[in-house]
Amino acid sequence: MNKLIYLDNAATTYPKPEIVYTTMDKVLREECVNAGRGSYKLARKANTLIEDTRKLLLELINSKAKNEKVIFTPSATIAINQVLRGIEWEKINNVYVSPFEHNAIMRTLHSLSKLNDFNIHIIPFDNLTFELKDADLKVMFAKNTPDMIVLSHISNVTGYILPIKQCHDLAEKYNPINIVDCAQSLGIVPVDITEELSMCDFIIFAGHKSLYGPLGVAGFICLNSNINLKEIITGGTGSDSTNLEMPQDGEKRYEVGSYNIYAIAGLNAALRWINNTDIKEIFKHEKRLSEILVQELKSINGIEVYVPSNLANHIGVVAFNIEGYKASEVGTILDDEFNVCVRTGHHCAPYVAAFLEGMAKYGTIRASIGYFTNENDIRIFIDSVSEL
Amino acid sequence: MNKLIYLDNAATTYPKPEIVYTTMDKVLREECVNAGRGSYKLARKANTLIEDTRKLLLELINSKAKNEKVIFTPSATIAINQVLRGIEWEKINNVYVSPFEHNAIMRTLHSLSKLNDFNIHIIPFDNLTFELKDADLKVMFAKNTPDMIVLSHISNVTGYILPIKQCHDLAEKYNPINIVDCAQSLGIVPVDITEELSMCDFIIFAGHKSLYGPLGVAGFICLNSNINLKEIITGGTGSDSTNLEMPQDGEKRYEVGSYNIYAIAGLNAALRWINNTDIKEIFKHEKRLSEILVQELKSINGIEVYVPSNLANHIGVVAFNIEGYKASEVGTILDDEFNVCVRTGHHCAPYVAAFLEGMAKYGTIRASIGYFTNENDIRIFIDSVSEL
C-alpha cells in the first residue's frame, strides 16, 4: 500500500511546519507556566509571548490602527459563541448568512433565535456558478434591513472564496455588524482589513487550520471598539481577584482561566513560518494543486465536482461525488484500499446540502489540501479515485 | 544564582512526567488529526484514544457503574461554566459554597445571580482551625434548605482538604446538587465516588494541575444521569450536520468542535503515569514535603502560615505572609534574588482574604509543590525566605 495521503486539511492542517513541533516541545519542557504580568520571570516571559502573538496576528490582517483587539480562545467554536452570544440581541432583527456557514455559526444562531426575536436570512447565491445574486440580495436588504451579516471567508465544504466586500458594500448603508469566519482563509488568502475586509467588525480565526498552528488556540479579532460584547464564560483572570465582576474591558474580559501557553507558542511559530515562507507562496502552492485536483477530477467520467464556475474564487477544498457510490462508501474504500484520508458527509455545514443538488442525501466526499501536500499526493489520489 | 526553584504547582504542575512530553510530541507529529468515528484510520485512532482517556478517568474515581460520563472541555473554567450555566436555575433557591472557592465558581455564580433569583451562602468554617462549624451549618441548612453545594476538594490557596463528605452528609436530606471542584485534588488524594464523594453529582477536573497532564484539556464527570445540562456552547459535532439542534444526550452534546487530540493524549499519558507511579506514592511524597515546608516556615520568626490546625487535612499548597513585607514584595525578591517562583496576591479566590485575617489587604505568598519538587528545593526556598 502507498504511503499515507492526507487530504483532510480543512479539518486540521497536517503536518505542521517543523518549527511548530520543536517550539511546542521546547516551551512545554522549559517555559510552560501560568502567564502573569506581576509574577516571576518565566510567567512574564509567557506573557510577552502572548502579546507578541497578538501583534503577529494584527500584522497578518494589515492592521494599522491601535484599537484592534486580538482575543484568544481555545477553539474557533468558542470564539464564535463568544461573539454571537456576546452581542446585544435586543437591537437585532435580521441576520444574514451565506448557505456555506458552519454549524458553529448556524447552531449558535439557531440556539439564540429561541431566546431572541430575530430572523435568519440566507444570502442568495447561484447554485451552479456560486455567484452572488446581488440584485436579489439588494431587494432582500431593502425589505428586511440587515443588522448582522455572518460570512465564511472560504467555505469549508467547497473551497469557495466568498465575495465578502461585495456583500458588505451592498449592506453598507444599513450599517450591520459584520462577522467574517476566517477559519479556512487566514494565512492562505489575504485577510486585509484595509481592503476586502474593510467593513468587518469581527474576524474569527482557528490556529489549527489555515494558520498551520496547533489545536487548542483560536480566537477573534475585534475591529470595532464601539461594540462591547457581554462575557459568556466567567472565571479567574489573575487580577482584581476579590472583585466578582469580570474586567469591564481589555482582552482579559474574555480570556478566562489559564492561558494555553504552549499552544500559543505553537501558533506564534506558525505565524513566523507564514511570514518566512511568504503568504503569497503558500497561496500559489495551494492554488496550483487545487487547479490540478479540480481539473483531474472533472476529467473522470461519472464524477460531479462542486466548485464555483470562476475558479479564481476557489482554493484548497474540493467537494465531489461519484455516480453509483454514496460519499461514505468512497471514503471507506479510499481509506482501506489506498491509504487516502478524506472526509465524507455534510462537513458540519447544514445548508450546503440544500444548496448543492446531488449531495443532498448523502453529503459529499471532501478532499482538502495543505501546504505540505505535493503534486505526487494529488496524482496518487486521482489514480485511486479513477480505480473505483 | 541557584537553579530555578518552581513552587507554583497550584497554578500548573511543572515539569510534567517525561512520558507526557514524548507522547504529545509523537501524537502531534504522527497522529494529530480530527477525531471521527466514521472516518479514516487515523481519525478512528484519535477516537479510541479519547474513549480510553475517559475510561482511565473513571477508573481513577473508582467508578463501578456504567452511567457516569466524562465530558472533555478545554479548561476547568469552561467545565465549571458548562455545569453551572447548564443547570435549571428555576428550581434553585439556595446555593452553598465554601469560603475557599475559586473565581471560576464565584464569578460564574455571581453572574448567574443577576439572571436568576437565588441566594449564595458561605459555609461557616473556623478561621483559625479551618474546621467546619457543623452545628452552625446545620442551622443554616434548616433555615435555607440547600439546593446546590459547590465545594473545592482542595483549596488552591491554603492546601486545605475540605470535609466534602461531612458537608454532603449534613445536606443529604435536602438532596441538593453537589458539585466538587477537584482541580487541585484528582491524582493526588483519593477522589472516590464510593466513599468521600459518594453523594457528588459533578466532579470538575483540570488536566494540567494535579493530574500532571497538559494545559488545554479538562472537563467534568457527570455522576447523576438524571440531570440534563443545557448546552452553553453550540457548534459542529461531526455528525447529524443538517440538524440545527445539538445532540440531546451523550458527551457530544457538550464537546463541540475539534477535539484537542494531542492534549488528550498528554492527559492519557499522565493518567498512565499516575497509575504506574501509584497515587499513594504521589500523595506520600507531596505530603512529606508539605510537612517540611509548613514546619520550617512556622519556625521562622515573623512568618504567619495559613494552614489548618489538623495537618492531616493539608497538602501541597502553603500560603503565608512575612511581617513587614507585602506579599508581592516577597514574590519579587524571591524571583530576582533567589530564582524562586511563587505566586502572590489573592490567587483568584475572592473570599479567602475575608476568611483569613492578615492577608486581607495584600493577599498572601503561595508556595505550591509538586511530585517533581524535592527536599533540596524546599531547603533552598526556606533558606531564601530566611534571608529576607
Whether B78 contacts B219, CB under 8 Å: no
- Name the residue among A16, A42, A102 with its Cβ closest to that of B236: A102
B38: which chain A residues are within 8 Å (Cβ-Cβ)?
A: 328, 331, 344-345
Q: What is the mean pLDDT of residues A2-10?
A: 94
Q: In this structure, which CATH number among 3.40.640.10, 3.40.50.2020, 3.30.420.40, 3.60.10.10 belongs to the domain A18-277?
A: 3.40.640.10
B14: which chain A residues are within 8 Å (Cβ-Cβ)?
A: 32-33
Cell of B387: 534571608
Q: What is the mean pLDDT of residues A277-300?
A: 98
B243: which chain A residues are within 8 Å (Cβ-Cβ)?
A: 350
A113: which chain B residues are within 8 Å (Cβ-Cβ)?
A: none
B108–A77 C-beta distance less than 8 A: no
- Residue A262 makes CB contacts below 8 A (sequence gap 6+) with A24, A27, A28, A32, B214, B215
Cell of A8: 483532510
B34–A11 C-beta distance less than 8 A: yes
For the stretch A327-340, pLDDT in tens is 999 999 999 999 99
- pLDDT (0 to 100) of residue B358: 57
- pLDDT (0 to 100) of residue A66: 76
CATH 3.90.1150.10 occupies which residues in chain B? 5-16+278-387
Percent of chain A scoring above 90 in pLDDT? 93
Instruction: Give the residue ranges of chain B where pLDDT is below 70.
Output: 1, 358-361
DSSP annotation of B251 reads: G
B6–A81 C-beta distance less than 8 A: no
Q: What is the mean pLDDT of residues A300-324?
A: 96
- pLDDT (0 to 100) of residue A229: 96
The interface pTM score, or ipTM, of the predicted complex is 0.97
- Closest-CA residue of chain B to A206: B258
Give the H/E segment covering residue B50: helix B41-60
Residue A358: pLDDT above 60? no
For the stretch A184-201, pLDDT in tens is 999 999 999 999 999 999
* Class of domain B18-276 (CATH, top level): alpha beta
Q: In this structure, which CATH number among 1.10.390.10, 3.40.50.970, 3.90.1150.10, 3.40.50.12780 belongs to the domain A5-16+279-387?
A: 3.90.1150.10
Residue A129: pLDDT above 70? yes
CATH 3.90.1150.10 occupies which residues in chain A? 5-16+279-387
- Closest-CA residue of chain A to B16: A29
Q: Give the minimum alpha-carbon distance from B116 to chain A in angstroms, rounded to a whole number.
A: 15
B350–A242 C-beta distance less than 8 A: yes
Nearest to A157 by CA among A184, A180, A178, A177: A184
A78–B104 C-beta distance less than 8 A: no
- Name the residue among B29, B347, B348 with its Cβ closest to that of A15: B29
- Name the residue among A107, A335, A341 with its Cβ closest to that of B246: A107
B246–A346 C-beta distance less than 8 A: no
Whether B154 contacts B161, CB under 8 Å: yes
- pLDDT (0 to 100) of residue B359: 62
Q: A30 to each of A22, A25, A178, B22, how far by Cα in Å?
A: 12, 8, 41, 14
Q: Give the minimum alpha-carbon distance from B7 to chain A in angstroms, rounded to a whole number.
A: 11
Q: Give the minimum alpha-carbon distance from A387 to chain B in angstroms, rounded to a whole number.
A: 19
For the stretch B324-381, pLDDT in tens is 999 999 999 999 999 999 999 999 999 998 898 756 567 899 999 999 999 999 999 9
Q: What is the mean pLDDT of residues A30-35?
A: 94
Rounded Cα gap, residues A202 and A181, in angstroms: 8
Q: Give the minimum alpha-carbon distance from A249 to chain B in angstroms, rounded to a whole number.
A: 16
How many other C-beta atoms are found inside a 10 Å radius of the C-beta of residue B245? Answer: 12
- pLDDT (0 to 100) of residue A249: 86
For the stretch A64-110, pLDDT in tens is 877 899 999 999 999 999 999 999 999 999 999 999 999 999 999 99
What count of CB pairs under 8 Å joins A to B?
A: 253
For the stretch B54-89, pLDDT in tens is 999 999 999 987 789 999 999 999 999 999 999 999
CATH 3.40.640.10 occupies which residues in chain A? 18-277
Q: Which of A27, A230, A348 to mutate to test the interface with B (most CBs of B within 10 A)?
A: A348
* Class of domain B5-16+278-387 (CATH, top level): alpha beta
- Closest-CA residue of chain A to B17: A29
A237–B40 C-beta distance less than 8 A: no
- Residue B332 makes CB contacts below 8 A (sequence gap 6+) with none
B234–A107 C-beta distance less than 8 A: yes
Residue A2: pLDDT above 80? no
